[in-house]
Amino acid sequence: MRDRVFDSEDDAAQFIAIVKANDPNDDFIYVISGDQRNAGKYIIEIFGEDGRPLGRV
Query: What was the pLDDT predicted at 1?
Result: 45
- Give the C-alpha separation, 31 to 25, whole Å: 18
- Give the C-alpha separation, 17 to 21, whole Å: 6
pTM comes to 0.86
How many Cβ atoms from other residues are within 10 Å of residue 56's Cβ? Answer: 16
pLDDT, tens digit (0-9, with 9 covering 90-100), for 1-53:
467 999 999 999 999 999 999 998 999 999 999 999 899 999 999 999 999 99
Query: What was the pLDDT predicted at 2?
Result: 63
User: Which residues on adjacent β-strands are paired with residue 46?
Assistant: 30, 55
